[in-house]
A = this chain, B = another copy of it.
Amino acid sequence: MKISKKERQDKLQLTIADNPFVTDDDLAKRFNVSVQTIRLDRMELSIPELRERIKNVAEQTFEDEVRSLPIGEVIGEIIDIELDENAISIFDVKEEHVFQRNQITRGHHLFAQANSLAVALIDDELALTASAQLHFNKPVQIGERVIAKAKVRRKDDRRTTVEVRSYVGQMLVFRGEFDMYRSTTQVEGGI
């Protein structure tokens, strides 16, 4: 009971896509053909050998790691800061920051840029966000550069209120007001 070449190659493609870890030998047994036939099939379909497939999978994740880990402590790049007064950071929206289906920046990246800028702005050992009001005014697309401008609005002995406005070009895309604890007095809440 043999299946056609076309059919076998279709199934071969699906099988490898589903599990890149199968050897030619496995495939030969699965489809009741010789190893050589499998190799001819792979060649016709331009499917690389097992080791290359595995390496590709590994390299993908490795790149993702180096791309997302150096978040360091501030999201975006601070280009200007005067402690307890104001600060500016830029954040370039890349592929990993957007929803796949519509290429719109995921909200937590805009929040992260604004919030980490607010934290950096506080001239204190420890600054924690107690609460925040956020407004997402305009979707940000992949490839756009977001410039966040933070200003200290109010300050008393325990709290600081920071307002952050984020722009793409002249357009206000995000606005947030962050109520921040400072650490000199003992903290009872906040992040």
Contacts and interface: CB of A to CB of B under 8 A. Distances in A.
**Which of A132, A135, A174, A191 has the largest count of B CB atoms less than 10 A from its CB?**
A191
A190 interface: yes
A133 B135 contact: no
A183 to B, nearest CB: 9
A32 to B, nearest CB: 27
A115 interface: yes
Chain copies in complex: 2
Contact of A73 (B100, B129, B140): B100
Consensus secondary structure, chain A interface: mixed
Contact of A133 (B59, B126, B128, B133): B133
Interface stretch (A7-15, A35-43, A50-58, A83-91): A50-58
Interface string A123-156: 0001011111111111110000000000000000
Interface in A52-94: 54-55, 57-62, 64, 69, 71-73, 75
Interface in A174-191: 174, 187, 189-191
Contacts of A161: none
Instruction: Give the interface residue-count category, chain A.
Output: 35 or more
Given A54-B58, A75-B108, A130 B136 contact: yes
Contacts of A159: none
B191 A106 contact: yes
A20 B127 CA distance: 34
Interface of A: 20-21, 51, 54-55, 57-62, 64, 69, 71-73, 75, 96, 99-102, 104-112, 115-116, 126, 128-140, 174, 187, 189-191
Given A57-B61, A104-B128, A131-B133, 10 more contacts: A21-B62, A57-B62, A102-B126, A106-B115, A108-B109, A131-B135, A136-B190, A137-B190, A138-B189, A139-B189
